[in-house]
Chain A
């Protein structure tokens, strides 16, 4: 039986971060993961992360995954893939199934970073081929390059449902709608807006009534719910789809900690401030110890790894406390704001700044035009080019501030503050803020009153990439066509990391309406 100073179970963001921190201190570390590829869910995340620079904001999930793997490798961490931990026993002994054999390992410390699994919800037809988890859609599109289907209905408007819906659009699928039994969108408003501006409707207060088809999904019927969760008579809507995606929440996969005898609160292992469970030497980090974000998982992993190293004598108390304090401060930042763990369950009505939250955003997934003027990032100006930041909820995120070399945008020390576009700004229209906004909520406006037109620049992450001169339709925030338009400019650069900046020409009075570009279909007036 091979003994390791630290055994980490799970090579996702929490597990790898824990291994890196422990190995950096000198611990002999091994990581087991049951999958063929490491990184957990990270490599499926093709969007830019939120937070601040230390949280790897504005960096796409798979790049963060690559960074973690490189760091782990450089520190000599052994990562064993296709290795399933099938048992955990007294004395922190585990059995690992690799290939067609079992090997016993013993750890001085064990960090359980096994993540979470998807929740289930049932309805007639839920077992038909074509009903898949949102994670399945991500795996198929982003790891294997295959569309899960052509026409998809998404159930769930938490961040997973919102993000995967956008990814389905990027993969060329048609998303017929998003549905949620809740009355309000569960995830970030900016994630929802990315989807609604393309024309996808949200049906809150609805759920799936039935899925039908001959041997596979062919159509789905949804209906509205009353206050007793019963279907409202006459509210049925049927859509022809070939895929239904379920994004109804995650639950920790905590069987290992349960079997190991750790104190549990429901199915979550109880941990102290350093990730240690009630069984000395066994830690839990990442989603397994409570569902949050990958950014939080990485920090929790680092804290647990540091504690294991400290307890093993590889870190002095001073060094340990320094690491923990820095990480705790970082974690604390991520837990602030409207979607933080302390705010869960509360019905919010205003931002920290006292501005009324957009109820349209919460109930329909897009900002109403008459609501946006109240936010500090939005102010129309007559002269020159200027950014309009339609970021209206307090979430920990600040890459826009750093992106502007002219200091036009400020957020301040509290990274959940709404971004403010200054009074007398010197915007050069470089577009870096547009590209660095992970929520894709920044636009550049340039009014040309003499010509009665305006140029609107927006982030664009779809194929085919339009070209200068292409004609198309401008859509507003809720995806309605507001006018015909033409592409004036298309900018792409390495610094923008695959977020293209599209500039369209619209009538002057459309400057604060046009927020998305839809190319005319084949046979339309292209380059007319």
Chain B
């Protein structure tokens, strides 16, 4: 899936866009411009963008911004959106308080 993400490709300089201030990750308030700049700084995958910017790491855990981020990254890299992986899903799939996670209940 990432075979076309050649790290040596030259994306050229970052050119500001007219909608760079559009909020993409609603929870963490990350803009399109920040995502595009991150790609130019070498973040080519969803995982890298997520760890670098926190897109998808807010309260909704990527439920809303997932595909929006993939599309922006793909466009910036000049590849099809199918080349950008979906965010890895890990347990817990929904926000959960630590005390709940630690409270194992036997089925009554």
Contacts and interface: CB of A to CB of B under 8 A. Distances in A.
Interface stretch (A79-87, A322-330, A407-415, A446-454): A79-87
A95 interface: yes
Interface residues of A, number: 32
Nearest to B89: A255
B100 A102 contact: yes
Contacts of A84: 93-94, 96
Contacts of B93: 84-87, 255-256, 259
B68 interface: yes
B92 A97 contact: yes
A424 interface: no
A381 interface: no
A85 B94 CA distance: 8
A86 B89 CA distance: 11
Contact of B107 (A89, A103, A251, A255): A103
B64 A120 contact: yes
A85 B24 CA distance: 27
Interface string A88-129: 110000010110111111000000000001011011101100
A112 to B, nearest CB: 12
B67 A251 contact: yes
A120 B65 contact: yes
Interface string A236-262: 000000000000000100011011000
A383 interface: no
Contacts of A89: 91
Given A87-B93, A255-B93, A259-B90, A105 B100 contact: no
Contacts of B26: 127
Interface in A245-303: 251, 255-256, 258-259, 266-267
A419 B9 CA distance: 58
B105 interface: yes
A144 interface: no
Tell me the dominant secondary structure on chain B's binding face: loop
Contacts of B82: 266
A100 B65 contact: no
A95 B91 contact: yes
A393 to B, nearest CB: 30
A34 interface: yes
A105 B63 CA distance: 25
Contact of B96 (A97, A103, A123, A127): A97
Nearest to A86: B92
Nearest to B103: A101
A230 B7 CA distance: 31
B23 interface: yes
Nearest to B105: A101
Contact of A102 (B24, B64, B101): B101
A87 B100 contact: no
A2 interface: yes
Contacts of A266: 82, 86
B24 A86 contact: no
B89 A258 contact: yes
B22 interface: yes
Contacts of A103: 104-107
Contacts of B19: 124
A102 B23 CA distance: 35
Nearest to A256: B93
Nearest to A101: B105
A65 B19 CA distance: 43
B89 A119 contact: no
Given A84-B94, A86-B96, A98 B105 contact: yes
Contacts of A256: 89, 93
With a 10 A CB-CB cut-off, give which of A101, A124, A126 has the most chain B CB atoms. Answer: A101
A103 B96 CA distance: 13
Contact of A117 (B63, B89, B100, B106): B63
Nearest to B90: A259
A104 B105 CA distance: 8
B97 interface: yes
Contact of A258 (B67, B68, B86, B103): B86
Nearest to A249: B67
Contact of B94 (A2, A86, A100, A123): A86
Nearest to B19: A124
A100 B68 contact: no
A86 B91 contact: yes
Given A102-B103, A124-B22, A88 B91 contact: yes
Given A101-B100, A105-B107, A122-B24, A87 B67 contact: no
B55 to A, nearest CB: 13
B104 A101 contact: yes
B89 A259 contact: yes
Given A86-B96, A87-B93, 19 more contacts: A86-B91, A87-B92, A98-B105, A101-B103, A102-B96, A103-B106, A103-B107, A105-B107, A120-B64, A120-B68, A123-B22, A127-B23, A255-B93, A258-B86, A258-B89, A259-B89, A266-B82, A266-B86, A267-B86
Interface of B: 19, 22-24, 26, 32, 63-65, 67-68, 82, 86, 88-94, 96-97, 99-101, 103-107
22 contacts: A2-B107, A34-B94, A84-B94, A86-B91, A86-B93, A86-B96, A95-B92, A97-B100, A100-B100, A101-B104, A102-B100, A103-B104, A103-B106, A105-B107, A117-B63, A120-B65, A120-B67, A126-B22, A256-B89, A256-B93, A259-B89, A267-B86
